[in-house]
Structures are given as structure tokens and as C-alpha cells.
Amino acid sequence: MANLLHISSLFHLFCLFHLVCVAKSQSFIGINYGQVADNLPAPEATAKLLQSTSIQKVRLYGSDPAIIKALANTGIGIMIGVANGDIPAMASDQNFAKGWLTTNVLPFYPASKIIVINVGNEVMSTNDQNLMANLLPAMQNMQNALNEVSIGGKIKVSTVHSMAVMKQSDPPSSGTFDPNIGDLLKGLLEFNKATGSPFAINPYPFFAYRDDPRPDTLAFCLFQPNAGRVDAGSKIKYTNMFDAQVDAIRSALNAMGFKEVEIVIAETGWPYKGDSNEVGPSIENAKAYNGNLIAHLRSMVGTPLMPGTSVDTYLFAMYDEDLKPGPTSERSFGLFKPDLTMTYDIGLSKANNQVPTPKTPMTPSPEQAPKAPMTPSSGQTPRTPVTPSSNSTGTPATPVLVPTPNTTVTPVSPKTEKSVKAGVSDAQLQANINLGILVLSQILWYPMLLHM
């Protein structure tokens, strides 16, 4: 009988551990909810849809009260944003920060689980010296406003960067920030370190493939089997672009003395449709990238420089934003349609956490891809429309084009022994983990049955 109770206790502890792991594995999957569109469903419908998925966090570019209110009592973490245009006033006037907080946070918190206030979006890539200089004072005033109402330790203050803040990202071990913004960036990072807020950034392997559309680059970007790329500095072999870009950011932070600052991926995604002259957009590629990324995060493998953990990652995006300017791809990142159905299935539904993804990368047709690999010139940087932050009334601001990183960060890098072996996808790894859990549960149950 004692053995039976002991085995039963072990089994229940195992079940509890498994449930905690599963819950934790979903906690870092977020999504961007942009509003540069005229066909979006009601916020209440979106909140209900999110609750049917494993998405646990939402990033808003503004502070639309209707959306914040709709997410009340859902347990979903919310990132909200201060518009770039509000930064100068917030920097110069503490009362402006207090007023912003009174209007956009206090009426909803804590029922609406606001976790981060991003002051500005990709400000350090605007080349607007006045705006860049005002960013840190604005963040400090927002932090002071939060402290005054005793929620400064509960809601973090940060800002979101594009990969253009990186001077070097290939190989990952040589990752460094642009020295032209070094002093300003150091001040921001000191703020992140002092307050425990994350360094939020937007890596897009899609742009790396767009600038180097070879078949092996596509497989590398989509987490699919490939030869890997070896970092000449660290000798680490990387098998996917996401890990390489994240580790380049980690290296840059470490080089500046900010090893303690957490990285958050504020945006990443892949368009499912593009113009005839665009290389890379397709349903198959979007499904492979997003689906394999989710499997990678759930596997808890981490990156070679940050093994055994997964960074908070906000997928781009909830819906297409049909009013965005630029090529078709800019309006084709949505994982869900306005009628609330999936654009394609990547296993986000709570009813189905399996990730169905194609086994082989979809190479572009001859008329789409150049005959020879394209190496962008040193001055070339991909440009992507930044979803404008909403003002305090929730009205989208005018779309602004901001340069994004030259992701030709042909990252390289093999995974360490703690990582997945080359040729084994993250989806396969997750399946193996699930199988192991099933087998272990059967082993634990079997002695119990013998004593019944």
C-alpha cells in the first residue's frame, strides 16, 4: 500500500510538473495587434479568439481603450505604446506622463493585464536627433508616473528597436551596436537594467532571405534542415537565422556590459503573399517560418548563447493591415482573417497544438528570383512600414516608413550540444518530447494497476 501511495504521489507530481511546463511553454508566445486597417473585427471578438489560442500576450502599437477593455479579465498580458509624436511632450513635462497614465492605464489596470508600456517605436532608427534625445527622458518620466501610483514594479517601461541599431550581426559573436547612437543607446540600456525592463527589438529573417534568395538561405531562415553556418569567432554552428539574429543581439548587449538585460522579440513574422517581383512571400513559407518558430520556442532549446530558455516573442501579426502603404507583402502578415478564421494553421489553437508545416522550403520561381545570389550594397537597408502608434483616442496615426535592419546578417552558427542536432527540426523535437511524456506516464501508471 505504501508503494502504491508513493507511486501515486510521484505520478501526480509528474502531472503537475508537466502541466506547469506546458503552461510556461505558452507564456512567451505573443502577437502584434496593429490597427492600420478598415476591416478589423470588434475588439471583443478578437479577445474571444485569443482566448481560444495559446497566445498569452498582445502588443498594441497605441493604447486603444476599446481593445484594452476587451482584454480585461482574460489573463492576457498587454504591451501598450506611447506614440512617437508624444515623446517630446512627455520628456519635457512630468504632468504629461501622469495625464497619459491616468487616461490610458489607470482606468483599466489591473483587470486588463498591462505589463509593458513601450515609449515610441523604432525611434533610434528615425535619424530624428531631437526625438532620439528625448526618448530616455520620456521613459524616465513615465517610470516616475508609475512609481507615484505604486505600480512602477508591476508595469515595465521600455521602447522598441529595429535591427538597424545593429552595426554588425554576422557572425553572431561579432554582434555590435551602431556607434553613432552608442551614447544614447547606453543610456537606454542603463534604464532597462535599473528598472528590469526588456530590450525589445524586431528581427525579421524574411528580410535576410529577401536580400540573399538562395535555397540554402531559405531553409536556414525557415528552421528547416540545412548544412548550417559556422560562426568563425565562436565556432558555434547555427542551424537557423532566428537564433543567429537573437545571439547577435545578445553579443552586442554583452559587449556593452549589459548581460543582465532581457531580450524580447517585439516583432517577427513572414508574409504569406507578395507582388510578382517579391522573393519569399508564400503561404508555404509563412506557415513554415511561424510554425517552426513556435515549435522552437515550445521546445525550450533556446539559442546557443541562451540555452534552455525561450525569449518572449510577439508574432507579426494578428490581422492584415489593408491600409498600409508599400508592396503587397506589407499587407499580408496576418495569421487570422477579419472573419476570425485562420489564414493558415500553425498550431496556435488550444484544441490543436501540433504544428503542421511543409517539409521542404518553397523556392521562388525563376521569374521571381534573380539568377545569382544578391548581396546588398553596404548602404542598402530593407524598409518596412512601421505600424503607427495609436494616440490616446485609439485613432491610428499616419503610417511612417522607417528603415529596418540589413538582415543580411547571414548568421551562422551551429547549435551547442544543448541544442537540436543538425537535420532535426524543432517540430520533430517537440514530438519526441511528447512521446517521452506519454511513455513515462504509462510506466508510472503500470505498477499502480498491478496493485489495484
How do residues 373-418 score in pLDDT, each as one tens digit? Answer: 333 333 333 333 333 333 333 333 333 333 333 333 333 333 333 3
CB burial readout 176-205, b (16+ within 10 A) else e: ebeeebeebbebbbebbbebebbbbbbbbb
Q: Which among 262, 267, 321, 330 is annotated as catalytic? A: 267
Q: What is the pLDDT of residue 14?
A: 45
**215 SS3 class:** helix
**Sign (positive/negative) of CA torsion 293, 298, 300, 301?**
negative
Among this protein's residues, is 148 annotated catalytic? no
DSSP code of 84? G
For the record, the C-alpha cell of 448 comes out as: 499502480
What is the rounded average pLDDT of the residues 323-332? 98
Among this protein's residues, is 267 annotated catalytic? yes
Q: Which among 122, 262, 321, 330 is annotated as catalytic? A: 122
List, for residues 72-124, the tens digit of each pLDDT value: 999 999 999 999 999 999 999 999 999 999 999 999 999 999 999 999 999 99
Q: What is the pLDDT of residue 145?
A: 98
DSSP code of 62? S
DSSP code of 339? T
